[in-house]
């Protein structure tokens, strides 16, 4: 049950490899680990294939959390039974909630800790991920509502997974640090983010009015005067769509959800200066830039001059430099180079879905309501 980790810059981002090859911290024994005031919420619908790895990664953190709650959203594949073997709490609503937001809000009713951390049931964490998020969020400044982490695909094998791998390396290396400087990441990625529980309850939990509950919640927090931190060192590894069938569902939900958030928050956006700016850039990238890249430039090349091909060659180093820098840090240069073709294929597909979403959600006001899983 995954949502958008936000490659931020909607055109680029809407647009398990092994975890990082860097040395990871050794998990202390349970007797010596520091206890942190965090409840981990894991919404899950038919995630029996992934839930064990997810829970295990939570239990093997460098810190000990107060509680782990799996929301078994009326699964039919034994997801809840698998979760119970780890000794965590499993709660099950009377009927399927119909969305990730509904499952999270059901679980939120049982949370008693200072912080609530939401993680997708197909996502594993680096051993120190929770400790790093807590360090960023557990501060005296009560305007800090929470924190989110760095996202890297867990598997990088198919064309689509490779495309997403490059997207994430680019977006989380360039966009997110800049947004964090202003304490306004465009989205606290739904696959791995943490909030103060009292703030969550003040905001009435995760909104179900859009298909992008993580983005919707993030923007709502900003409108109430809160800030959210991005922690680049807190790394998570979700399962990304391995084929076009799943990628289609995910992109449809992400792109439609983005424009739904724009519609819902439009009046309030005008009064939050930095949020207004990053959403404006996202809208430009999602619409005008997409049209220019896939329609205007080809027309100029065909009917004016081949010199306009330079537009594509200028674009390549802008993507390549930050991606290769991060890939070098992770010891994954070959993987990054091999994944570049997948990125450009996915970029074209992203553009189609973005324009379709803009047409349906903004022009026709024909809103999509059905939540579809993306893996």
Report the CATH number that the domain containing residue 167 is assigned in CATH: 3.90.550.10
CA distances from 252 to 229, 282, 289 (A): 27, 17, 19
Domain housing 316: 1-23+30-375
| pLDDT value of position 311 | 77
| pLDDT value of position 282 | 79
272-276 long-range Cβ contacts below 8 angstroms, 24+ apart: 272/222, 272/223, 274/182, 274/184, 275/184, 275/219, 275/222, 275/223
Positions of the chain with pLDDT under 50: 8-24
For the chain, give the longest Cα–Cα distance: 71
What are the tens digits of pLDDT across the range 187-223? 999 999 999 999 999 999 999 999 999 999 999 999 9
The residue written with tokens 């919404």 in the block is 43
| pLDDT value of position 25 | 52
- The count of structural domains within the chain is 1
Neighbour tally for 167: CB within 10 Å: 29
Q: Which helix (H) or strand (E) holds 13?
A: helix 10-13
Cβ burial, residue 299 (10 Å; 0-12/13-18/19+):
exposed
Q: Which residues contact 82 (CB under 8 A, 6 or more apart)?
A: 48, 51, 52
Cβ burial 256-279 (10 Å sphere, 16+ → b, else e):
bbbbbbbebbeeebeebeebeebb
Listing from the earlier edge strand, what are the strands of the sheet with 192-196? Answer: 89-91, 63-72, 34-44, 115-119, 192-196, 144-151, 227-238, 123-125
Q: Are 68 and 42 in contact (CB under 8 A)?
A: yes
């Amino acid at each position: 049950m995954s949502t958008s980790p936000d490659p931020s810059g909607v055109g680029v981002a809407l647009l398990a490899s092994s975890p990082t090859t860097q040395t990871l911290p050794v998990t202390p024994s349970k007797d010596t680990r520091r206890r942190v005031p965090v409840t981990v919420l894991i919404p899950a619908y038919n995630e029996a294939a992934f839930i064990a790895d997810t829970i295990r990664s939570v239990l093997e953190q460098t810190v000990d959390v107060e509680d782990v709650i799996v929301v078994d959203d009326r699964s039919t594949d034994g997801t809840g039974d698998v979760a119970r073997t780890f000794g965590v709490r499993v709660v099950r609503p009377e009927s399927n909630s119909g969305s990730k937001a509904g499952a999270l809000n059901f679980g939120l009713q049982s949370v008693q800790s200072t912080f609530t951390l939401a993680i997708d049931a197909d996502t594993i964490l680096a051993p120190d991920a929770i400790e790093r998020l807590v360090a960023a969020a557990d501060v005296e400044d009560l305007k800090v509502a929470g924190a989110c982490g760095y996202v890297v695909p867990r598997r990088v094998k198919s064309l689509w997974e490779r495309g997403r791998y490059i997207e994430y390396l680019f977006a989380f290396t360039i966009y997110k640090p800049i947004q964090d400087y202003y304490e306004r990441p465009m989205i606290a990625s739904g696959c791995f983010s943490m909030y103060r529980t009292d703030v969550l309850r003040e905001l009435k939990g995760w909104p179900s009015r859009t298909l992008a509950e993580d983005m919707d919640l993030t923007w709502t927090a900003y409108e109430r005067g809160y800030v959210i931190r991005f922690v680049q060192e807190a790394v998570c590894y979700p399962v990304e769509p391995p084929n076009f069938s799943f990628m289609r569902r995910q992109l449809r939900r992400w792109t439609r959800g983005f424009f739904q958030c724009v519609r819902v928050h439009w009046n309030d956006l005008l009064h939050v200066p930095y949020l207004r700016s990053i959403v404006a850039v996202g809208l430009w990238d999602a619409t005008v830039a997409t049209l220019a890249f896939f329609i205007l430039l080809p027309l100029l090349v065909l009917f004016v001059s081949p010199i306009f091909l330079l537009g594509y060659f200028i674009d390549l180093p802008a993507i390549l430099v930050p991606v290769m820098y991060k890939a070098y840090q992770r010891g994954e240069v070959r993987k990054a180079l091999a994944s570049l073709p997948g990125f450009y294929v996915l970029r074209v597909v992203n553009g189609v879905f973005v324009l379709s979403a803009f047409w349906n959600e903004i022009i026709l006001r024909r809103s999509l309501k059905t939540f579809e899983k993306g893996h």
